Amino acid sequence: MTNIFTLSPIGTVACTRTQAEDDRWDMEQTTIALDPAVLDADAAAELDSFSHIEVIFLFDQVPDSKIIRGARHPRGNKDWPKVGILAQRGKARPNRLGATICDLLSVDGLTLRVRGLDAIDGTPVLDIKPVMTGFLPQGALREPDWARTLMADYW
């Protein structure tokens, strides 16, 4: 069942963070420079009519040796249960994919400014989608207590 897909980044993150840190991403304003070799100049036309975008990116700096394929304690905290990598949002995932909904501050051609993107400087951006209420969860969300605690200082 192994299929291999090749993806080309559509852009790159530019920000002040050069190391992945766990908290305070809400303070981070980021530029996403979209690649004119991949996208036409009007690819982001009308994107600024949305307040938020979802950015799909690659945790490209995670080495193979750090990839988690099973369970672990989130952030290495033994007070929290050992849970599967698919039950958390850590960067050491098998395909190294990250996805974040962030505030869209401005669009200038192929340059986007966002707030709250938890990606470091130089991160490859694979896709961008507008956040639409119709795609948000319907009904109440359920999550364990450890997840709420983990996120307390993230934003």
Let me know: does 14 contact 123? Beta carbons within 8 Å. no
Mean pLDDT of 109-118: 95
Structural domain includes residue 33: yes
The pLDDT > 90 percentage for the chain reads: 68
CATH classification at residue 54: 2.40.30.70
What amino acid is encoded at 52 in this protein? H
121 within a domain of the structure (yes/no)? yes
pLDDT band at 107 (very low <50, low <70, confident <90, very high): very high
Interval 42-94: pLDDT, tens: 999 999 999 999 999 999 999 999 999 999 998 888 999 999 999 988 889 99
Cβ atoms 33, 14 nearer than 8 A: yes
Q: What's the confidence (pLDDT) of residue 24?
A: 59
Instruction: Of 122, 118, 123, give the one whose Cα is nearest residue 155.
Output: 118
Assigned domain for 6 exists: no
* Residue for token pair 């007070």: 79
CB–CB of 117/102 below 8 Å? yes
Strand residue runs (E) in 21-136: 29-34, 52-58, 71-72, 83-84, 97-108, 111-115, 124-130
Measuring CA to CA, which residue among 112, 111, 117, 97 is closest to residue 26? 117
Q: What is the pLDDT of residue 29?
A: 87
Q: How far apart are the first and last CA of the chain?
A: 38
Higher pLDDT, 155 or 143: 143
The alpha carbon dihedral of 149, 126, 29, 120 has a sign of: positive
Q: Determine the pLDDT at residue 97.
A: 96
Q: What is the pTM of this model?
A: 0.89
Q: Hey, what are 55's tokens?
A: 């950015």
Q: What domain range is 128 assigned to?
A: 11-134+141-150
Give 152's pLDDT tier (boundaries 50, 70, 90): confident
Rounded distance between C-alpha atoms, residue 39 and residue 18, angstroms: 26
In a domain, 5, yes or no: no
Q: Using pLDDT thresholds of 50, 70 and 90, give the confidence band for residue 103.
A: very high
The answer to whether the beta carbons of residues 54 and 101 sit under 8 Å apart is: yes
Model confidence pLDDT, tens digit, residues 17-51: 777 666 555 677 899 999 999 999 999 999 999 99
Q: Number of structural domains, the chain? A: 1
Q: Is 1 inside any structural domain?
A: no
Q: Is residue 84 in a domain?
A: yes
